[in-house]
Structure 1
């Protein structure tokens, strides 16, 4: 097992282009990695139901979803880290007063606490997924939630950050913020997988481009930022590859001498 490497890939801006396309070179590179006996996994902020098609296409059964809050190894759930519901209820009440909608998310579905809102449509549409949140303001009750989306203009999340200490807030869109359990991250989720597999640090690799990838890239010994990534992401990584549209995954894997 020690000879085997594991490579974690973010999805948006890493596996997929801005148009949500999977480059042919990326697909070929991932299957070559697997043929060589390496473990290939996904590490994303998306919900499991938001990337089932990618998992099926790439035949990947190990993933870190919800930025580390719902972790699956070879098709089996091995770790979950749900949100504090009492704190979420208070935040939701206050957000409603400020006309900031919320989308509640568990491992199977997502529900909005308002019937409709332009911010929800604007941000979710960029993911180019089939699912869209329907209305259920009580969806947070009697179930575990692993992430919530707070919809507000840039900067307005700072009020919630100062008041709600049970959560971390990570912006992923100009009008939307991921709301996570405090201290939760892709890095924490990855730890659960590599511990189970017994793969040492020097055999761990990760590719990412966004703000929610920073802790992952800092914690993984062989980390790679995409050329299209934000500057603070590139600073966090050990290496920088080309952009996703310019065969960045293939280039990065060759740079790491995994291919």
Structure 2
């Protein structure tokens, strides 16, 4: 290829395998893309502070966090979309009455409205990050929050979905649900980046595997789902590659003639 392209990669289940490790073939592929003059970015549901080490390892300074709510282009904040604070406070009060913990998240940190809870421990530990939410029930005061986490069993989020139309609820763990601004998505974050860069739509690629990747995979010209991905993600994508455990990123890029 002669034209510059931009590549967006999800993290969990895409860049990282089930053990939260970065396959050597994936790292090599990322640097080959960059050496060829292309732009490589991350598009994840994670908070920025949850993948600083990965960004440093891959030398990536453009990233979409919180499923599109916090977008950084070459180290500079390009776009933010915070939660409706009044509605979040109201939700938190109802959740407290239901004994459903809530974690508040901005670009710097995350704080829980309870000192400790089994659901928080078990779900956050699966991310294998070196940070854990500490207790601060009023962390929302005086700051923008881009995502919150509601901790409840599957199905228990339904009343919240009916009551709070300002939010989207996306389950990522049997014990936890993301709370996001209504209509926010990785696709919207990508739109902001591409608009700023002036990249042609036919030169936009995205790799993902999860339910929060569906909008992204269907919106870009070249959506590639991982072989280990959710069936709905595969249906939304233009292509399906091998699983992350089978060097799916390297395989997919070669199949498309990009490496």
What is the TM-score with the length of structure 1 in the denominator? 0.99
User: Which sections of structure 2, spanning at least 5 residues, go unmatched?
Assistant: none
1:50 maps onto 2:33 in alignment: no
Determine the C-alpha separation between the residues in 2 that align with 1:223 and 1:211: 14
Q: How many pairs were matched up?
A: 258
1:219 alignment partner in structure 2: 219
Determine the C-alpha separation between the residues in 1 that align with 2:168 and 2:246: 33
How far has the Cα of 1:258 moved from its partner? 1.0
Determine the C-alpha separation between the residues in 1 that align with 2:14 and 2:117: 29
How far has the Cα of 1:37 moved from its partner? 0.3
Determine the C-alpha separation between the residues in 1 that align with 2:79 and 2:114: 30
Determine the C-alpha separation between the residues in 2 that align with 1:255 and 1:240: 10
What's the CA shift string for 1:208-246, capped at 9, x where partnerless?
Answer: 000000000010110000000011110010000000010
Determine the C-alpha separation between the residues in 2 that align with 1:197 and 1:256: 23
Determine the C-alpha separation between the residues in 2 that align with 1:150 and 1:32: 39
1:27 alignment partner in structure 2: 27
Determine the C-alpha separation between the residues in 2 that align with 1:182 and 1:22: 32
1:127 alignment partner in structure 2: 127
1:210 alignment partner in structure 2: 210
1:85 alignment partner in structure 2: 85
Determine the C-alpha separation between the residues in 2 that align with 1:81 and 1:256: 34
2:172 alignment partner in structure 1: 172
2:105 alignment partner in structure 1: 105
What RMSD, in angstroms, separates the aligned Cα atoms of the two structures?
A: 0.7
How far has the Cα of 1:206 moved from its partner? 0.1
Determine the C-alpha separation between the residues in 1 that align with 2:189 and 2:138: 28
1:150 alignment partner in structure 2: 150
1:15 maps onto 2:15 in alignment: yes
Determine the C-alpha separation between the residues in 2 that align with 1:258 and 1:232: 25
Determine the C-alpha separation between the residues in 1 that align with 2:44 and 2:13: 11
1:257 alignment partner in structure 2: 257
1:161 maps onto 2:161 in alignment: yes
1:187 alignment partner in structure 2: 187
What's the CA shift string for 1:85-116, capped at 9, x where partnerless?
Answer: 00000000000111110000000000000000
SS at match of 2:88: helix
How far has the Cα of 1:189 moved from its partner? 0.4
Determine the C-alpha separation between the residues in 2 that align with 1:187 and 1:148: 20
Any runs of at least 4 consecutive aligned residues in structure 1 with deviations exceeding 4 A, and if so which? none
User: Which sections of structure 1, spanning at least 5 residues, go unmatched?
Assistant: none
Determine the C-alpha separation between the residues in 1 that align with 2:153 and 2:200: 41
What is the TM-score with the length of structure 2 in the denominator? 0.99
Determine the C-alpha separation between the residues in 2 that align with 1:192 and 1:156: 34
What's the CA shift string for 1:148-189, capped at 9, x where partnerless?
Answer: 001111111111000000000011111101100000000000
What's the CA shift string for 1:117-170, capped at 9, x where partnerless?
Answer: 000000100000000000000001110000000111111111100000000001
